[in-house]
């Protein structure tokens, strides 16, 4: 399990130098004193001389911030991280249930034991739970049960039956049709093959896009219902994979549950907080009419049930990339002859959810917030998603508490955020952001998110580009948990795709970056894991397959916390907008290549990026000039200049948002980064431009291509605004 550094070793890092020895009175000093009485210096000179040793003492008595940061990295405890995870995953804790309240109580009690001021925010939100569900294939029913593995020590009887949150209550009967991964392009393939989906029940497999988008795509194609399954090729390790408990793979009866809500936050309070008591609410039907909630029923099923349905489907052979594991019978698209009968009834109710916070107030800039966030609720036990992240967050809290006891105080305020009801659609975090939008707009420095901190080996991270360098530097200070001879950075460089840091999985933390415009980071060990959102995402899986020694948890907490410390403690915020400009230029070229041969011009966008690059260089020069100034200069003036420079670095990201938001998706305000239109799991650079291009390719009308040009100008104006903010002067 590793070891915890001893108290003596920790204290030695912070031991100040000994004070100078006391002077001894001598005859010589007496003579000097007499002489001084004959030639007394002015009072001001006496004050200056007296202050010099005081300043020297102060400068040598208090450790530097970097010393505290080094100490933070040394204060790890594998056993504590494991203990937190075991406690959090002892019971399933779906949002709105009594066990969810128990999990929040554990987080609060842990923070209180560390003497960290904590509080909660509560919201009444619309959640859904299954009342009844059934599925039969040509009159043969499925049991829809996830089977416990032999010796399973966890209370599986408390797990909510498999379902899709916010699924449409109703029935669907019809011939089965296989639609691959349920992407928009998959349904286009079916149409090109002459398939009419009206009145059919679609079978689609998990693995490429968000399940809510699968259901929406099927509904748009005319299907009566949807069954989504976990194919053993994707989650079961293929024909040779060993499943839990012998191996890491999903057992044949395993089911990935999850939400189908395509919006963010409480569906009944779109754009404003669901405060407890009386607040304005809209009917759920408004979300259905807007296409954000399904209008047809759906169910998730296991690999075993999905394969049974697949074997009942005839017709044309499915495309190669829709096929199953090597050696399996060929998949066909239908329709039928297998006939599906699906029924689902859900309970939609207002439930109370609880976000938990710990606040470490900054000394010099208490009104600037560095936020670290992770959600707590889980569909079942949630060992990977999300409680590996919660365990890492509590590990950070413990280390920060120890730093405080040794004299550390952050320059800026650090807020640890533990969200509720995220699995339903980022509900807890979104409601809090909507309630605190204006405060966050003016005060948030950055948001650092880690939900699935550990799903396996390999470090993955993404960030808004001004934080790229900060993220890389942090990984250079942390040891690779899977190769102790290397830093995490070295291993990351060797294995990473290009670009190294990409803005991905935006659904999980876009509530701050894409709604308010807060610089953001997300990171994890492992990228995807086979027992996702299933009964088997438990402590046993983590202890045996995800992180047996809990060293990856420690590394995740170290990188996460170190980034937070640098953002909270450094006098100058470590933001680099030259990297931002370079990334925008690269992304622009990708989109430009997509529309080659058209009249669309990306010149406005390229011009605005050049302006941003010049502004980034200029503010970098300003920073260097301030850093080079002597400590003897006018402190008050310098302090105001530093504050102004940092505020410009913060607010430049806000300038990339637009009050009107993305076209037909106005909650998303950020014009540079946002979710893909047909996949909430995916991410796009310039999402508004990308949406317009996709529509223009389909309709190919002059108006649709003019709209592409309009979106380009719109983004160019936002980037120019960001440049003006960095420059800090009116035109």
Catalytic residues, by residue number, are 422
Instruction: Give the integer Cα–Cα distance in Å for 425 and 437.
Output: 18
- Exposed e or buried b for every residue in 608-631, given b needs 16+ CB within 10 A? bbebbbebbeebeebbeeeeeeee
CB 387 within 8 A of CB 374: no
SS3 at position 286 = helix
Q: d(Cα 728, Cα 650) in Å, to the nearest integer?
A: 12
What does each C-alpha distance from 498 to 463, 487, 581, 685, 720 come to in angstroms? 14, 20, 17, 15, 27
Q: Which residue has the tokens 């019809």?
A: 174
Contacting residues for 198 by C-beta, under 8 A, at least 6 apart: 222, 223
Q: Report the alpha-carbon distance of residue 424 to residue 548 in Å, rounded.
A: 29
Residue 127 contacts residue 349 (beta carbons within 8 Å): yes
Task: Spell 158-182 as b/e; 16+ CB within 10 A means b.
Answer: ebeebbbbbbbebebebbbbbbbbb
The secondary structure of residue 432, as a DSSP letter, is: H
d(CA 610, CA 252): 54
The secondary structure element, H or E, covering residue 610 is helix 603-628
Gap between the Cα atoms of 716 and 711, Å rounded: 9
Q: Mapping DSSP to helix (H, G, I), strand (E, B) and coil, where does residue 6 land? A: coil
* String of DSSP letters for 496-515: --SSSS----GGGTHHHHTT
> Comparing C-alpha atoms, which of 102, 223, 82 is closest to residue 547?
82
The C-alpha atoms of residue 388 and residue 556 are separated, in whole angstroms, by 9
**Cβ atoms within 10 Å of 360's Cβ, excluding its own:** 22
584/672 Cα distance (integer angstroms):
8
Report which of 176, 218, 177 is spatially closest to residue 339, judged by C-alpha positions: 176
CA 466 – CA 726 distance, rounded (Å): 12
Phi-psi region of 590 (alpha: psi -120 to 50; beta: other; left: phi over 0): alpha
d(CA 168, CA 171): 9
Residue in this structure with the two tokens 């010796």, named with its chain if needed: 151
Cα–Cα distances (Å) from 279 to 436, 571, 624, 642, in that order, read 16, 42, 50, 42
Q: Answer yes or no: are the C-beta atoms of 726 and 655 closer than 8 Å.
A: no
CA dist 167 and 45 (Å) reads: 79
**Tokens 């948890």 belong to residue:** 553
């Amino acid at each position: 399990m590793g070891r915890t550094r001893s108290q003596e070793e920790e204290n030695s890092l912070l031991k100040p130098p000994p004070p100078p020895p006391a002077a001894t009175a001598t005859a010589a000093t007496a003579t000097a004193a007499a002489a001084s009485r004959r030639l007394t210096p002015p009072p001001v000179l006496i004050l200056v001389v007296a202050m010099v040793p005081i300043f020297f003492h102060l400068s040598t008595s208090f450790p530097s911030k970097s010393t505290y940061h080094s100490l933070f990295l040394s204060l790890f405890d594998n056993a504590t991280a494991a203990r937190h995870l075991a406690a959090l995953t002892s019971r399933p804790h779906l949002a709105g249930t009594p066990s969810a309240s128990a999990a929040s109580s554990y987080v609060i009690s842990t923070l209180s034991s560390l003497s960290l001021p904590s509080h909660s925010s509560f919201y009444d939100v619309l959640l859904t739970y299954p009342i009844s569900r059934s599925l039969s294939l040509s009159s043969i029913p499925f049991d829809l049960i996830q089977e416990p593995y032999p010796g399973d020590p966890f209370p599986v009887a408390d797990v909510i039956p498999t379902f899709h949150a916010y699924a449409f209550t109703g029935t669907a009967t019809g011939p089965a049709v296989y639609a691959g991964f349920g992407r928009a392009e998959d349904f286009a393939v079916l149409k090109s093959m002459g398939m009419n989906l009206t009145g059919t029940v679609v079978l689609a497999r998990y693995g490429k896009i968000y399940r809510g988008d699968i259901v929406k795509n099927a509904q748009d194609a005319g299907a009566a219902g949807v069954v989504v399954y976990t194919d053993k090729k994707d989650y079961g390790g293929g024909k040779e994979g060993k499943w839990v408990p012998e191996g890491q793979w999903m057992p044949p009866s395993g089911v990935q549950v999850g939400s189908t809500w395509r919006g963010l936050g409480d569906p009944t309070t779109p754009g404003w907080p669901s405060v407890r008591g009386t607040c304005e609410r809209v009917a759920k039907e408004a979300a259905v009419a807007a296409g954000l909630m399904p209008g047809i029923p759906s169910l998730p099923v296991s690999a075993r049930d999905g394969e049974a349905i697949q074997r009942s489907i005839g017709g044309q052979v499915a495309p190669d990339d829709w096929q199953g594991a090597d050696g399996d019978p060929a998949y066909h698209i239908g329709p039928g002859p297998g006939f599906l009968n699906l029924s689902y009834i859900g309970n939609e109710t207002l439930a109370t959810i609880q976000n938990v916070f710990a606040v470490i107030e900054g000394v010099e800039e208490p009104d600037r917030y560095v936020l670290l966030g992770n959600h707590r609720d889980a569909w079942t036990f949630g060992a990977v998603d999300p409680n590996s992240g919660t365990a890492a967050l509590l590990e950070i809290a413990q280390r920060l508490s120890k730093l405080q006891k040794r004299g550390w105080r952050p320059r800026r305020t650090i807020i640890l955020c533990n969200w509720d009801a995220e699995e339903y659609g980022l509900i807890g975090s979104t409601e809090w952001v909507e309630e605190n939008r204006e405060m966050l707009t003016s005060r948030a420095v950055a948001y650092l998110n880690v939900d699935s901190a550990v799903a396996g080996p390999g470090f993955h991270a993404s960030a808004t580009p001004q934080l790229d360098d900060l993220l890389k530097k942090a990984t250079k200070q942390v040891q690779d948990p899977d190769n102790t001879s290397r830093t995490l950075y070295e291993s990351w460089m060797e294995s990473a795709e290009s670009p190294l840091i990409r803005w991905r999985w935006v659904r999980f933390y876009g509530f701050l970056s894409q709604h308010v415009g807060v610089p953001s980071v997300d990171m994890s060990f492992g990228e995807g894991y086979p027992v996702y959102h299933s009964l088997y995402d438990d402590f046993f899986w983590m202890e045996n397959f995800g992180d047996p020694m809990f060293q990856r948890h420690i590394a995740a907490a170290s990188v996460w916390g170190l980034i937070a410390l640098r953002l909270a403690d450094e006098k100058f915020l470590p933001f680099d907008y030259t990297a931002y400009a370079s990334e925008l230029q690269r992304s622009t070229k990708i989109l430009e290549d997509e529309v080659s041969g058209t009249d669309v011009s990306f010149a406005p966008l390229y011009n605005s990026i050049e302006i941003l690059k010049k502004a980034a260089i200029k503010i970098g020069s300003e920073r260097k000039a301030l850093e080079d100034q002597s400590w003897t200069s006018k402190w008050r003036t310098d302090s105001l200049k530093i504050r102004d420079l940092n505020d410009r670095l913060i607010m430049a990201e806000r300038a990339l948002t637009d009050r009107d938001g993305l076209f037909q998706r106005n909650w998303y305000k950020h014009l540079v980064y946002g979710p893909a239109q047909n996949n909430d799991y995916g991410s796009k650079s310039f999402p508004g431009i990308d949406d317009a291009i996709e529509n223009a390719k389909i309709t190919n009308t002059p108006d649709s291509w003019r709209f592409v040009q309009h979106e380009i100008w719109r983004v160019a104006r936002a980037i120019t605004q960001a440049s003006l903010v960095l420059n800090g002067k009116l035109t």
